[in-house]
Homo-oligomer: A and B are copies of this chain.
Amino acid sequence: MSFNNNVATKFPKLAPKGPSGELLLASERAKGSFDVNELSKFMYTDDWLQRMYKVLEVLENEPAFDKSDRYYLSREDKLASSLWKDNRIVELVREQNWDKTDTQIADLLYDQSTPFTLHYNMFIPTLMNQTTAEQKKLFLAPALSHRIIGCYAQTELGHGSNVQGLETTATYIPETNEFELHSPTLTSSKWWAGGLGKAANYAIVMARLITDGKDLGPHPFVVQIRSLDDHRPMDGVTVGDIGPKFGFNSVDNGFVMFDHYRIPHVSFLAKYSQVEKSTGEYSKPPNSKLSYGTMVFVRANIVMGVRLALAKATTIAIRYSAVRQQFVDAANPKKWDNKVIETPVLDYTMQQYRLLPAVAAAYACFFTGREMLRLYNLNQEAMQNGNFSLLADLHASSSGLKSLTTTMAIDSIEDCRRACGGHGYSSFSGLGQFYQDYLPNVTWEGDNYILTQQTARYLLKTFRNVVAGKAEASEYNQTITYLTQYLENPKAKCPATKPEDFANPELILSAFGFRAAYGIAQVAEQIDRHGRSWNSMLVEISRISKAHCQFMLVRNFIVALQNDDHLAKAENRPMLNVLRKLASLFALHTMEKELSEFLVAGYLSSEQSAMLKQQVISLLEQVRPDAVSLVDAFALPDYFLHSALGRYDGKVYEAMTEMAEREPLNQTLVVNGYDQFIKPLTNPTKPSADGVAAKL
């Protein structure tokens, strides 16, 4: 090429076909029935929102937090830019005097995991909770000041869910008062640990403790894996990155193997169990249910995270569906300035059916997350007083809710992406990478299928207790309540006689309770009377966990609207009204999705099913005018969304073209590879290949 190839491609300065996205969204916002800001404050508090906007302003002016290049980066560049962010946030915390909440907000807005994420989320918390004073001084203090950067290595190449099957060993050597870490097989390689691949110099390693010839199963050790001087792997340690993944490529998930690698006695995390020096004698940890409380807390936050994920996905899809116009709906043509225009796709019932229940689900997860946090606090207090009565139900529900809601979230993210049509497939939608990065949630913190077994075990045990008259009703245990009601009248029928009857909250709660109880009773009968094995019942087992948790989501939503003092105020009536519609929509859409279970239970009839479906369509119509306002209330800034389709101002097409202009391939006129691979075909110097090519 003799010409200047480094000419960037620019779009001509043209406007999109009108009406513009700005005008369309403005008309949507004018239709809203409630005060958007009030609903935002209700969910987040005014204080949190103000902090969020303050942190946002800082980040928008920080090159290390700039997202402009996020969708174009190679794996290596993603990692480098993540390390920049990890470095810069340490400085920002100091410069801005941010507290924990501010820092969490910054991470939330940045919205991408980095190599240091597990240093903060797993390494430091583990050191805080499981170490002695000496260990805190040795490991926690330098971790807090970033002298050491840690990660958490549990999963192995051959073992994930079954922690008891881990192979890495840590053998106590009394002669030198050391442990010898060893990886006996290829499958024993630690695998998946975030931050381990390239960034961390320390790791919490779960290894089988072997002392005095006895294998005591997996225990945590704090282990140096890289030199503090030059970051090279320690002798005896093979460590690296596990390679590219479906998502999460801004993180260096890593592997590590140990070859008879010696670590000092103090590496064994010794707050709960100890290995005595010289003798190697082992003392067991005190049996404690307290850790179950912590799990409830973690899962309540996961459910709140689901709320955020659904909010993000629906904000993008709803705004774009209000801007995107396709076809004229002949039966009901849309007019603008007295002219017929194509219909915004959000006016099509199918699009509403795909999107509005997901908005309702976001609000459902908000109310359940809030309730879980309330019960967590109640339970922590009760346990301090020796009262463990709340724990079992709370823990079981939280397992199933983690499973159910994260699956709901990932399905909705993908539904929203597809509902954006072709442009949903562009990285600029923001939904593709979001889907990829969110996905691990269905596997980590308990695989979603395996978790349902924990919930089901509790439900079956409670059922047997209720049948035996050994369970006492309590306002904190809805499981006992709905099981008792079911057993009192196992032939109950839904009383609905017209579609509007399905708007009745009591009818909804009875239906969900009955359906859950019926399923539990069936499984109990199969196992207890017919001797079916647990394995052969796994499909039904996952269903009863789901049925129970759908009951919880529906109930928490409905009860919150009945009891919340703030919502009860006269001036908040419009907000309460729209939330009530959402609660009905969430419940009835869920009922429709799971219709076969309500029918099999004999609770609903065919005629009632038709009424139910009619009521769902009617609710879609009722919620439709508030659709954009409801996602606006999530208060998610454009910086967070980083989506051409989901922009607050509706400038979808301007954003698509601006982002396309940044594509690296568009910085040159002629593509790399032209001279080598295209030109020899289009401008051949050899005899033509016409005859042969015709066969293609």
Q: Which B residues are in CB contact (< 8 Å) with A186?
A: 11-12, 14-17, 653-654, 657
Q: Is the CB of B188 within 8 A of A660?
A: no
User: Taking the complex as formed, is A693 at the interface, i.e. its CB lies under 8 A from any CB of chain B?
Assistant: yes
* Residues of chain A from 105 to 142 with CB closer than 8 A to chain B in the complex: 120, 124, 141
Q: In the complex the two chains form, what is the Cα distance from A178 to B67 in whole Å? A: 46
User: Taking the complex as formed, is A364 at the interface, i.e. its CB lies under 8 A from any CB of chain B?
Assistant: no
User: Taking the complex as formed, is A694 at the interface, i.e. its CB lies under 8 A from any CB of chain B?
Assistant: yes
User: Taking the complex as formed, is A241 at the interface, i.e. its CB lies under 8 A from any CB of chain B?
Assistant: yes
User: Taking the complex as formed, is A342 at the interface, i.e. its CB lies under 8 A from any CB of chain B?
Assistant: yes
Q: Is the CB of A682 within 8 A of B243?
A: no
Q: Is the CB of A442 within 8 A of B418?
A: yes
Interface centre among A185, A248, A537, A684 (most CB of B within 10 A): A185
Q: In the complex the two chains form, what is the Cα distance from A228 to B231 in whole Å? A: 53
* Residues of chain A from 75 to 111 with CB closer than 8 A to chain B in the complex: 75-76, 79-80, 83-84, 86-87, 90, 93-94, 98-100, 103
Contact pattern, A 258-284, Cβ under 8 Å of B = 1, otherwise 0: 010000000000000000000000000
Query: Which of A49-57, A305-313, A323-331, A578-586 touches B?
Result: A323-331
Q: Which B residues are in CB contact (< 8 Å) with A12?
A: 183, 186, 238, 257, 259
Q: Is the CB of B617 within 8 A of A606?
A: no
Q: Which B residues are in CB contact (< 8 Å) with A326?
A: 159-162, 165
Query: Which of A31-39, A293-301, A504-512, A664-672 touches B?
Result: A664-672
* A666 touching B425 in the complex, CB below 8 Å, given contacts A93-B696, A147-B682, A198-B671: no
* Residues of chain A from 347 to 390 with CB closer than 8 A to chain B in the complex: 347-350, 353
Q: Which B residues are in CB contact (< 8 Å) with A238?
A: 9-12
User: Taking the complex as formed, is A206 at the interface, i.e. its CB lies under 8 A from any CB of chain B?
Assistant: no
Q: In the complex the two chains form, what is the Cα distance from A228 to B683 in whole Å? A: 8
User: Taking the complex as formed, is A493 at the interface, i.e. its CB lies under 8 A from any CB of chain B?
Assistant: no
* A240 touching B93 in the complex, CB below 8 Å, given contacts A157-B653, A189-B657, A198-B671: no
User: Taking the complex as formed, is A498 at the interface, i.e. its CB lies under 8 A from any CB of chain B?
Assistant: no
Give the size range of A's interface with the partner.
35 or more
Interface centre among A252, A428, A600 (most CB of B within 10 A): A600
A595 CB contact (under 8 Å) in B342, B596, B669:
B596
Q: Which B residues are in CB contact (< 8 Å) with A422?
A: 155, 160, 191-192, 443
A74 CB contact (under 8 Å) in B74, B148, B610, B682:
B74
Q: Which B residues are in CB contact (< 8 Å) with A538?
A: 348-350, 353
* Residues of chain A from 192 to 230 with CB closer than 8 A to chain B in the complex: 192, 197-199, 201, 228-230
Q: Which B residues are in CB contact (< 8 Å) with A177?
A: none
* A329 touching B535 in the complex, CB below 8 Å, given contacts A15-B186, A228-B683, A665-B79: yes
Q: Which B residues are in CB contact (< 8 Å) with A83?
A: 671, 673, 676-678
Q: Which B residues are in CB contact (< 8 Å) with A242?
A: 426, 660, 663
Q: In the complex the two chains form, what is the Cα distance from A17 to B167 in whole Å? A: 9
Q: Is the CB of A230 within 8 A of B3?
A: yes
User: Taking the complex as formed, is A695 at the interface, i.e. its CB lies under 8 A from any CB of chain B?
Assistant: yes
Q: Is the CB of B692 within 8 A of A94?
A: yes
User: Taking the complex as formed, is A639 at the interface, i.e. its CB lies under 8 A from any CB of chain B?
Assistant: no
Closest-CB distance, A650 to chain B (whole angstroms): 13
Q: In the complex the two chains form, what is the Cα distance from A120 to B94 in whole Å? A: 59
User: Taking the complex as formed, is A232 at the interface, i.e. its CB lies under 8 A from any CB of chain B?
Assistant: yes
Q: In the complex the two chains form, what is the Cα distance from A11 to B237 in whole Å? A: 10
Contact pattern, A 387-429, Cβ under 8 Å of B = 1, otherwise 0: 0000000000000000000000000000001100110011110
Q: In the complex the two chains form, what is the Cα distance from A425 to B243 in whole Å? A: 11
Q: Is the CB of B11 within 8 A of A257?
A: yes
A187 CB contact (under 8 Å) in B17, B417, B663:
B17
Q: Is the CB of A665 within 8 A of B342?
A: no
Q: Which B residues are in CB contact (< 8 Å) with A679?
A: 231
Q: Is the CB of B602 within 8 A of A425?
A: no
Q: Is the CB of A160 within 8 A of B421?
A: yes
Q: In the complex the two chains form, what is the Cα distance from A660 to B613 in whole Å? A: 51
Q: Which B residues are in CB contact (< 8 Å) with A533?
A: 331-332
User: Taking the complex as formed, is A516 at the interface, i.e. its CB lies under 8 A from any CB of chain B?
Assistant: no
A241 CB contact (under 8 Å) in B80, B187, B663:
B663
User: Taking the complex as formed, is A659 at the interface, i.e. its CB lies under 8 A from any CB of chain B?
Assistant: yes
Closest-CB distance, A340 to chain B (whole angstroms): 12
Q: Is the CB of B9 within 8 A of A677?
A: no
User: Taking the complex as formed, is A72 at the interface, i.e. its CB lies under 8 A from any CB of chain B?
Assistant: yes
A664 CB contact (under 8 Å) in B15, B75, B613:
B75
Q: Is the CB of A188 within 8 A of B17?
A: yes
* Residues of chain A from 20 to 36 with CB closer than 8 A to chain B in the complex: none
Q: Which B residues are in CB contact (< 8 Å) with A3?
A: 230, 232
Closest-CB distance, A334 to chain B (whole angstroms): 12
User: Taking the complex as formed, is A446 at the interface, i.e. its CB lies under 8 A from any CB of chain B?
Assistant: no
Closest-CB distance, A57 to chain B (whole angstroms): 20
* A141 touching B327 in the complex, CB below 8 Å, given contacts A342-B165, A660-B255: no
Q: Is the CB of A539 within 8 A of B71?
A: no
User: Taking the complex as formed, is A499 at the interface, i.e. its CB lies under 8 A from any CB of chain B?
Assistant: no
Q: Which B residues are in CB contact (< 8 Å) with A58?
A: none
Q: Which B residues are in CB contact (< 8 Å) with A231?
A: 669-671, 674, 678-679
A81 to chain B: closest residue by CB: B673
Q: Is the CB of A428 within 8 A of B243?
A: yes
User: Taking the complex as formed, is A473 at the interface, i.e. its CB lies under 8 A from any CB of chain B?
Assistant: no
Q: In the complex the two chains form, what is the Cα distance from A160 to B539 in whole Å? A: 41
User: Taking the complex as formed, is A244 at the interface, i.e. its CB lies under 8 A from any CB of chain B?
Assistant: yes
User: Taking the complex as formed, is A536 at the interface, i.e. its CB lies under 8 A from any CB of chain B?
Assistant: yes
Closest-CB distance, A547 to chain B (whole angstroms): 14
User: Taking the complex as formed, is A432 at the interface, i.e. its CB lies under 8 A from any CB of chain B?
Assistant: yes
A692 to chain B: closest residue by CB: B94
User: Taking the complex as formed, is A289 at the interface, i.e. its CB lies under 8 A from any CB of chain B?
Assistant: no
A693 CB contact (under 8 Å) in B1, B144, B155:
B144
Q: Is the CB of B418 within 8 A of A79?
A: no
User: Taking the complex as formed, is A146 at the interface, i.e. its CB lies under 8 A from any CB of chain B?
Assistant: yes
Q: Is the CB of A158 within 8 A of B653?
A: yes
13 A-B pairs within 8 Å (CB atoms) are namely A12-B259, A14-B184, A83-B678, A84-B676, A84-B677, A144-B694, A155-B422, A158-B653, A240-B666, A241-B665, A242-B660, A349-B537, A418-B442
Identify 5 new A-B residue pairs, CB closer than 8 A, beyond the known A347-B535, A349-B538: A3-B232, A79-B673, A83-B671, A246-B432, A600-B606
Ranked 7 nearest A-B pairs via Cβ: A246-B432, A595-B596, A74-B74, A198-B671, A87-B677, A596-B596, A9-B240
